[in-house]
Amino acid sequence: MQITESDFLFSDQKELLQIDAIHSYLSKESYWAKNIPLDIVKRSIDNSLCFGIYKKGEQIGFARWVTDKATFGWLCDVYISTAYRGLGLSKKLMAFMIFHPDLQGLRRYQLATLDAHRLYEQYGFKALENPDRQMGIVLPNPYQNTDTEVD
């Protein structure tokens, strides 16, 4: 599935993903995956429903859904390259993803964000009604103390 709008290509085709660009952003610029090793990025992409945004063949945005495509989807690793922010690309990406056939009919869509609440609220996300029912194991900064070199 793909669409082109204003010279930007939005696609779910994994063969278009530029793993090195994704790894570079996540490992160097994101607050949630700083220093993430390349092999973990590759494995996460292999096991997720992924979306890319491209401008003249260059990957400038990314998002992935961890999903069973039946009941649950977790949106993560969403980014737009700094040079392309403010153009409404995150909204277009959300609209493209939320109607994807593999994400229809799920009973739970979730995500975590530090600062993009207003964006996601436009697509139906809201604070959990019963957060006391949610549990998790969270490892803060899991890649900070690795011996893996980041390019």
**In CATH, what number is assigned to the domain containing residue 33?**
3.40.630.30
Residue 12 pLDDT exceeds 60: yes
Residue 32 pLDDT exceeds 70: yes
Residue 148 pLDDT exceeds 50: no
pLDDT for 142 equals 78
Residue 44 pLDDT exceeds 80: yes
Q: What is the mean pLDDT of residues 132-148?
A: 76
pLDDT tens sequence across 74-127? 999 999 999 999 999 999 999 999 999 999 999 999 999 999 999 999 999 999
Q: What is the dihedral of CA 21, 25, 26, 29, to 10 degrees?
A: 170
Among the ranges given (40-44, 112-116, 137-141, 144-148), the one the predictor scored with the smallest mean pLDDT: 144-148
pLDDT for 109 equals 94
Residue 57 within any structural domain of the chain:
yes
- Tell me the sheet residues that pair with 75: 65, 111
Sign of dihedral through CA atoms 12, 79, 54, 118? positive
Tell me the Cα Rg of the chain.
15
Q: State the residue range of the domain holding 32.
A: 2-126
Residue 138 within any structural domain of the chain:
no
pLDDT for 92 equals 95
CB contact at 8 A, 84 and 60: yes
Report the C-alpha gap between 80 and 7 in whole angstroms. 15
Nearest one of 77, 80, 81, 82 to 40, comparing CA atoms: 77
Residue 45 within any structural domain of the chain:
yes
Residue 136 within any structural domain of the chain:
no
Residue 142 within any structural domain of the chain:
no
Distance separating the N- and C-terminal Cα atoms of the chain? 31
pLDDT for 143 equals 85
Report the C-alpha gap between 26 and 47 in whole angstroms. 17
How far, in whole angstroms, is CA 114 from its chain's centroid? Answer: 14
Report the C-alpha gap between 148 and 151 in whole angstroms. 10
pLDDT for 145 equals 65
pLDDT for 146 equals 54
Among the ranges given (31-45, 51-65, 82-96, 131-145), the one the predictor scored with the smallest mean pLDDT: 131-145
Domain count, the chain: 1
Residue 137 within any structural domain of the chain:
no
